[in-house]
Chain A
């Protein structure tokens, strides 16, 4: 059953107006190329602090300074780029870490991103940039990555990136794609299989597991990080993944099996 229908068989009467209104406010913010606080905070109560005192942090600047180092990377086409200035600034991005010889989670994750790319159609490169950063930069030369990109059908707007190991380590830490357990963290075959989604000008960032269903990743990109004008209306993408039932967790037990359990007093 899809979630779009009312339980009593009628359509809900609440109109879509609020969502549309939200779109307009954000649209203005985007048109102004806003990297500052958008002007649309009308619901904000007046600040009662003295003039000249520091205000709330500029979230976009905060995230740029703390999480988006401007390290130099090289694309699969051999072009030198700066991570922040050239790949992230002003963009909507989906970022993952991979390496070409990875045989564990990477192929499935890359395949998922390829499906996302296809689903995004002509928004790829225009509205959304995919960044796949190599954890094996010495072996993953631009040529290797170009072959990998071609093998996965990468289109314009999907960058495969290599660079200095230290720079990539820095990126991995800053973007939250690391393991707290140092042994796991040092093992790149165990690397964090997450896709980091960001709308840089809005200062909105989240992550989703790379092995989530492609439809989930695409929906997350569409709703979380695309400009509001590109948001799905809801019904088109409502709960469209196939219905699944699994009772794999279930085991029938005989009451006799329970005799060993400690009873409370």
Chain B
């Protein structure tokens, strides 16, 4: 199928560099909203191809083992606090793989029609290098802060903490928001890569790592500090040629992480961030893996796409322009129990949805667009579905290729789910995420590292109710453990989120004001945070912590 100009207009695909929205409204390539800061310059969509080294980040490579260091304890955060978890050198098992990752400035091209911008990247890569961990092999990652102390751009502060989002790791390795390291310092993170609760069902699939420093996370992530952290497991071997019981999902060059972000630029093409907007920052340029509206050449076969919403506040509802469905296979950190075929799916900030898209029914030269049809003009909530929406990237069917990959009907066997755990529940907790006097609170409180809001006991499942109010949506992320979503207030659960999640959107139409979830914390005791992942809200302290009790 080749699109005519009329088709493209129907789809809202940029014609001559602008997008036609319903009602004839014309927006510079992509639409969206930019608050009071004007709009970005026009860019021609789909001119940059995603290729290894340009949008497809390198795989992080292990280095020779090195002696681990004690944690720095004297990096002063923007609120005057210093690290809480200050531990001695990590003691690592003999089979640990070591990695060295420098946070440093890098000149990055978002688009050839814009000048290069100086971003901050893990190892200078946008997105950061992709880690591929093996279950059973711990990783010791030393992150080194080589960011300038006196940065002329002024977006971000060179104070960093690393959170492996969705990861199962000790409190001192979780990127607890005040556990920071400053320019010239480093911090060693030990990721055990073990099965949570020794349960095969808890083998993880797609984590991501990003900055988590108190009060400044939004700016530091906006500046580039984010990357994928993937897992090779007993069944998800990341090799499509492996025979069962390996799943045989599309692998190698056919397994691609795609992080969706929005950005705003000034008239000269330089990145803009509004530090006066606490509602949630929205850009009017749509990036996939750091490139504005790129294209990807694909072969006529199945692909595994790991979608990540790396935006501050924007929620997406994704469709394929040819009406083809997605076969969803994963939500957040885990694979689903069974694949689910969906026409579209919602992706709130920090959520991941893994899908398989089969291009074998397409013809060579077909062009298929990934389209976001959710309109959003402020950080409060999306406005609703629009037609045709905004194309985020283009798939160009370019070649034929063998396809030994499979999508089995059974992906993960959940042996300890709600059926087994609900009868054990003795504690229910209720957290209200509210707007209060111009800021955002959880149960009336702003985050304070000296306040513990819940003390769940190790291994004892609990029900948590997360409730929003006042017409705001909040993507809530709970650290340490994935949870089973049990119900949404008056709204059916989507088939994708009926399995495990580490982030859930609450509040607003179509989402329900409150969700009920089942969570159990295993193996690690200590302090972890949970918070709104609209990062401006998080930075305004819409965050609380629980302390897992032995």
Contact A255 B425 (CB under 8 A): yes
Give chain A residues whose Cβ lies under 8 Å from the Cβ of B76.
19, 223, 231-234
Bound Cα distance from A41 to B470, whole angstroms: 44
B185 within 8 A of partner (CB): yes
Smallest Cβ-Cβ distance to A217: which chain B residue: B79
Contact B425 A222 (CB under 8 A): no
Give chain A residues whose Cβ lies under 8 Å from the Cβ of B429.
249-251
Contact B427 A7 (CB under 8 A): no
Q: A18-B184, A21-B184, A207-B278 are in contact. Are A49 and B116 (CB under 8 A)?
A: yes
Contact A43 B105 (CB under 8 A): yes
**Residue among A67, A104, A181 making CB contact with B471, cutoff 8 Å:** A181
A245 within 8 A of partner (CB): yes
Give chain B residues whose Cβ lies under 8 Å from the Cβ of A62.
266, 272
A37 within 8 A of partner (CB): yes
A212 within 8 A of partner (CB): yes
B415 within 8 A of partner (CB): no
Contact B73 A14 (CB under 8 A): yes
**Residue among B81, B88, B152, B379 making CB contact with A8, cutoff 8 Å:** B88
B residues 514-536 in Cβ contact with A at 8 Å: 516
Contact A57 B272 (CB under 8 A): yes
**Residue among B153, B185, B272, B424 making CB contact with A18, cutoff 8 Å:** B185
A residues 62-91 in Cβ contact with B at 8 Å: 62, 66-67
A92 within 8 A of partner (CB): no
Bound Cα distance from A255 to B104, whole angstroms: 52
Bound Cα distance from A66 to B154, whole angstroms: 15
> B222: shortest Cβ distance to chain A, in Å?
14
- Binary contact readout B281-315 vs A (1 if CB under 8 angstroms, 0 otherwise): 00000000000000000000000000000000000
Interface of A is mostly: loop
Contact A42 B87 (CB under 8 A): no
> A47: shortest Cβ distance to chain B, in Å?
7
Contact B278 A17 (CB under 8 A): no
Q: A14-B73, A29-B150 are in contact. Are A6 and B438 (CB under 8 A)?
A: no
B residues 424-441 in Cβ contact with A at 8 Å: 424-431, 436-439, 441
B448 within 8 A of partner (CB): yes
**Residue among B81, B380, B452 making CB contact with A219, cutoff 8 Å:** B81
Contact B183 A8 (CB under 8 A): no
**Residue among B105, B439, B452 making CB contact with A194, cutoff 8 Å:** B439
> B469: shortest Cβ distance to chain A, in Å?
12
Smallest Cβ-Cβ distance to A213: which chain B residue: B448
**Residue among A204, A210, A241 making CB contact with B450, cutoff 8 Å:** A241
Bound Cα distance from A258 to B423, whole angstroms: 8
Bound Cα distance from A144 to B55, whole angstroms: 60
Contact A10 B448 (CB under 8 A): no
Give chain B residues whose Cβ lies under 8 Å from the Cβ of A150.
none
**Residue among B107, B149, B451 making CB contact with A245, cutoff 8 Å:** B451
Contact B81 A3 (CB under 8 A): yes
> B185: shortest Cβ distance to chain A, in Å?
6
> A208: shortest Cβ distance to chain B, in Å?
8
Contact A252 B426 (CB under 8 A): yes
Contact B484 A264 (CB under 8 A): yes
**Residue among B118, B268, B380, B417 making CB contact with A45, cutoff 8 Å:** B118
Smallest Cβ-Cβ distance to A6: which chain B residue: B86
- Binary contact readout A223-239 vs B (1 if CB under 8 angstroms, 0 otherwise): 11000000111110111
A151 within 8 A of partner (CB): no
Give chain B residues whose Cβ lies under 8 Å from the Cβ of A16.
74
Bound Cα distance from A258 to B518, whole angstroms: 11
Residues of B within 8 A of A (CB): 36-37, 69-88, 104-107, 115-118, 146-154, 157, 172, 178, 182-185, 215-216, 266, 268, 270, 272, 274-279, 378-380, 417-419, 422-431, 436-439, 441, 443, 445-446, 448-455, 463, 470-471, 484, 486-487, 498, 516, 539-541
Cross-chain pairs A/B with CB under 8 angstroms, 21 sampled:
A3-B178, A13-B69, A14-B74, A37-B152, A40-B148, A41-B152, A47-B107, A48-B116, A55-B270, A56-B153, A177-B438, A209-B439, A210-B437, A211-B437, A223-B76, A241-B450, A245-B455, A248-B453, A249-B453, A253-B425, A258-B423
Besides the known contacts A13-B69, A208-B541, 20 further A-B residue pairs in the complex with CB atoms under 8 A apart: A3-B73, A21-B183, A40-B150, A41-B151, A47-B107, A56-B270, A66-B37, A204-B275, A208-B79, A209-B438, A211-B437, A220-B80, A223-B79, A234-B75, A234-B76, A234-B80, A241-B448, A242-B450, A244-B450, A258-B422
